[in-house]
Structure formats: structure tokens, C-alpha cells
Chain A
């Protein structure tokens, strides 16, 4: 087989036969950049502009002086991590079961995990109200035991966990399938038990994929609006998370306050994007290294002298 010298699509220099005329190239580039600029970039800039429009002093005041806003920030910082942790444990368990074993109903389980994606956030909140609300199926029981789920933090956690449930699992399943079981089986043969195997062998191999799922899950959890809106009763100072507080301030025509809080959320989104890009590079580098070592192994095997069979 001769060496194939023509370049592949995706390389930086395309053949002259496949190049578009320069005015087509630049016309399309300008159009694409314009679209993304108008739809995505300008809004981001606008958030920070509006937040800081009255000066940095007012900005900090908006965020810290208002007790309800402070509470909203703390509430989001409580609810989201708890939901993320719950979903990480679930995600790891589900990915382990799906990626490592064959069993009847495996495909159904995979589809079930995707189910929350197909449910509108408002409906997600509604179903928890149906279960745990005052007139819900468990309502009387909860009232008897003085437990509050709806219009209280536990409800917020449940609704957020529901909506973000698939993120970690969907990210981990392909990663675990790609990593393969060789190292785990090797560890097993060397006498490791299940947990040692998991912590010492599996987790280090999936750490980037896991982190990727975590940041996506977290970004969604902190930003969730519809489900939390329904479940919280949006009681200011008690059950308003950051996105809900943004909406309340908007309804009260307190735009500077609303934008100040929104800018925090936007900052979070930008940091999520940064971490995401960094993780993607790490995962690509890992994949490239794995490919290289696999091909080096093949090459070494091919060059080894043919041994006489015994």
C-alpha cells in the first residue's frame, strides 16, 4: 500500500481543487461571526455592561446589601452542589452497570436515563408538587410529621436533581466504555477487591470525563429555573434561588439588581466554558496518547522475530 499523500479534511491547508473562492470564504466567515456575535457575544457583553452601568460601588451593593439577594446566592450554592453530588453517585453507579455488564433491559435503562431531558422543567416541578404538595399523594403524611418538601429546600434539591440527572451518567458511559476493562481485570487478578479496584484503577482513568460531567451538571443545576420556580413557591428570602431572584428583581423593575445577579451567573457560565475547553483538550490528549501506545504495541509485535512453535 503506497503512502497516501493527500491531506485529510480538517487539516489547515486544503487542496486548491477543494478551496472556495476567497470572497466566498470571507463572506461566510463574516456572516458566521456576525451571527454568533449578535446572538451570543453581544448579550454577554450587555449583561456586564448593565450590571456595572452605575459603577462598581452600586454593583457590590446590589449583590451584598440586599438580604434576599444574599440569601439567594447562598441557597443556590447549597442546592446545586447537593444535587450534583447525588447525581454523581448515581451517574457512576449507572455507568458502571451499563458499561461493564450485559444484562436484559440494558437499553431500556439507558433510555430511562435520558427521560428527564424529555420533560419540560415546569412539568418536572409539577410532578413533585403532585407528590409532596399539601394536596399531594404524600402531603398529609408530610404534614403529620412536620416535614416540608415543597416550598422548602428539599423540594428545590429534588427538582434540581431530577432535571440534571442524566448529565453525569451520559458523560461517563462512553468514557468508561472507551477506557476498557483490562486494567480493572488486571487489578482483580492481583487481588484487589471491588472498592480498591474502583478507587485506584477506575476513577483515575475516568477522572476527566467525570469532571466534565460534573461541571455541565453544575452549570445546569445552578441555572435551573422552571422546575425550581414551580416547586419553590418563590418565597423571597426563603426559597428563591439565584435565577428566581433575577426574575423577581426583574418583575420589581429593579434592573440594576437583576443584572448584577445575572452577571454572577454569567461569570459562572464563562468559567464553566473555560474549564470545559480545558477538559476537552485533556481528554483528546489522553485519547491520542492511548492510540499512540496501542499502535506502538502493534508495531513492536509486528517486528518481533517469529518464534518457533514448541
Chain B
């Protein structure tokens, strides 16, 4: 899946985190964002994932507008700074969470989830 951001601007109150940022990431490429603290790296990633809404600009996945899509529908995998583990769930439940919250018609059965997860390695 290719990702493109076009003219993203994001301000928090009077502080502008991102101003007119644009770039393209073709399918399959590995890209790293480097920059000093406060330069807006986390903010940009969160905008791509849908956790923040940009004041201006667009996000496209595979050439399609994704800017209006909610975070749930974007299918972006996100690794959080502080791991964001579900502490009250087992490791297995953590790993399979995404499968278990699929809408009913798309959700695999509990047995399929169990057998398809390499739980021996957990």
C-alpha cells in the first residue's frame, strides 16, 4: 500500500506542529522520519493513522482519499511509544484483539482464531 501526504498543516492552538508537509512513500518501501524533538514526527504519523485530524491537507492510501476515514477504517498498524498493551488481557488476547473486534460478518470463529495463531511460540 502506498502512502501519500499532501500539504499537511496541523496546529495545536497557537503552536504549529506541521506546516505544508508533503511526501510520497511507494508500496513496499521502508521509510524513516528523522528530526529533532518537537519537529512533528509523532504528529505526522498520528495524522496518517487517523488519530489526529489535520487542519489542512490530504492523506492518500493507494491513491485513494483516506483523509475522511475514521481510524478504525484505515487499517493502519500503529506501534505506540509506551507499547499500549491491554494489561487486563492475556498475551493471546492482546495479539488476537484485532481479529476479535472485527464486525460479525467478517470475524473468524473463535476456533479459527486459536488454530491460526502460532500460540506455541507465545
Contacts and interface: CB of A to CB of B under 8 A. Distances in A.
A3 B15 CA distance: 13
Nearest to B39: A2
B42 A15 contact: no
A4 B50 contact: no
Contacts of A15: 51-52
Nearest to B50: A17
Contacts of A9: none
A145 interface: no
Interface in A1-26: 1-6, 15-17
Contacts of B42: 2, 4-6
Interface residues of B, number: 15
Given A15-B52, A17-B70, A17-B71, A3 B46 contact: no
Contacts of B51: 6, 15-17
Given A17-B70, A17-B71, A3 B50 contact: no
Contacts of B12: 5
B38 A3 contact: yes
Interface of A: 1-6, 15-17
B37 A2 contact: yes
B43 interface: yes
A21 to B, nearest CB: 11
A238 B63 CA distance: 88
Interface string B22-60: 000000000000000110011100100011110000000
A26 to B, nearest CB: 20
Contacts of A2: 37-38, 41-42
A5 B51 CA distance: 12
A2 B52 CA distance: 18
A16 B81 contact: no
Nearest to B38: A3
B17 interface: yes
List 4 tightest A-B contacts by C-beta distance, closest first.
A17-B71, A2-B37, A3-B38, A17-B51
Contacts of B46: 6
B81 A4 contact: yes
B40 to A, nearest CB: 8
Given A15-B52, A17-B51, A3 B37 contact: yes
